[in-house]
Amino acid sequence: MKKIIIANWKANPCLAKRAKKDLKIIEKGVKRIKHEVIICVPFVYLSIKTSLELGAQNCFWEQEGPYTGEVSPKMIKDLGCKYVIIGHSERRKYFGETDQIVNKKLKATLKAGLIPILCIGEKSGENARKVISEQLKKDLKGIIKKDLKKIIIAYEPVWAISTSGGGFCSPKKAKKMMDLIKKNTNNKIIYGGSVDSGDIHSYLNAGFDGALVGGASLDPREFLRVIKNA
């Protein structure tokens, strides 16, 4: 079955030359791949010419106006992009994004015709079921049914993200949260948290529709192995 494999490059690489080179390697490698592959790159790389599907990692909640330094969903859409990550735990942590902000961003993104990839997940020591239920309720508040189903939900236990501990969330444990999300929504659900070419299969086998891959997507050859093993 066709899966959604999303690379999250975060603020990497710091040179455009390298970004272009890595995209070329991935571009060559994904020919004849049945999965949907999306590379979420920093804004400045969104206009690189490639046949790959590029996505953004964030956006603002207004479409235009006096908001110095912000990039709007309409601008991203105008570049030909379809996808944008919203509410990643690093944005919640370093930029103070609350569920209310995430909710506004989701609405603006959907209004602009983009597909949001909503990240939810508990921090170390938190009650996962409680956090996920609350995030879903607040983040999706007031979004109409026809828009709601477009959202891809990424379950990312924060403590399992490679750069914030990289703890191991077993596919069995992740599945429990997937089931909880499924009870509340009808959306595609992907998994994120230190996924690499060695374990991608076990998360997909557990029933996830795909994966959000950070660290392992920074090496284009490893990312190609992730896709091949999916």
Question: How far apart (Å, rounded) are the C-alpha atoms in residues 42 and 59?
Answer: 11
If binding is defined by CB under 6 A, does position 197 make contact with ligand PGA? Answer: no
Q: Is 172 exposed, middle or buried (0-12, 13-18, 19+ CB in 10 A)?
A: exposed
Closest distance of CB 87 from ligand PGA, Å: 11
Smaller CB separation from ligand PGA, 12 or 63: 12
Q: Is 83 exposed, middle or buried (0-12, 13-18, 19+ CB in 10 A)?
A: buried
Out of 101, 151, 169, 213, point to the residue binding ligand PGA (CB under 6 A): 213
Length of the chain: 230
If binding is defined by CB under 6 A, does position 215 make contact with ligand PGA? Answer: yes
Smaller CB separation from ligand PGA, 153 or 161: 161
Out of 50, 63, 162, 185, point to the residue binding ligand PGA (CB under 6 A): 162
Within 12-127, residue ranges assigned H as helices are: 16-29, 73-78, 89-94, 99-111
Within 105-134, the residues that bind ligand PGA by CB under 6 A are none
Q: Taking a C-beta distance cutoff of 8 angstroms, is the pair 195, 226 a contact?
A: yes
| Candidate ranges 106-114, 121-129, 172-180, 189-197; the one touching ligand PGA (CB under 6 A) | 189-197
The partner residues of 190 in beta bridges, in order of sequence, read: 154
If binding is defined by CB under 6 A, does position 194 make contact with ligand PGA? Answer: yes
Out of 7, 8, 101, 175, point to the residue binding ligand PGA (CB under 6 A): 8
Which DSSP state fits 69?
Answer: T
- For the annotated catalytic residues, the residue numbers are 88, 156
Binding site for ligand PGA (CB under 6 A): 8, 156, 161-163, 192-195, 212-216
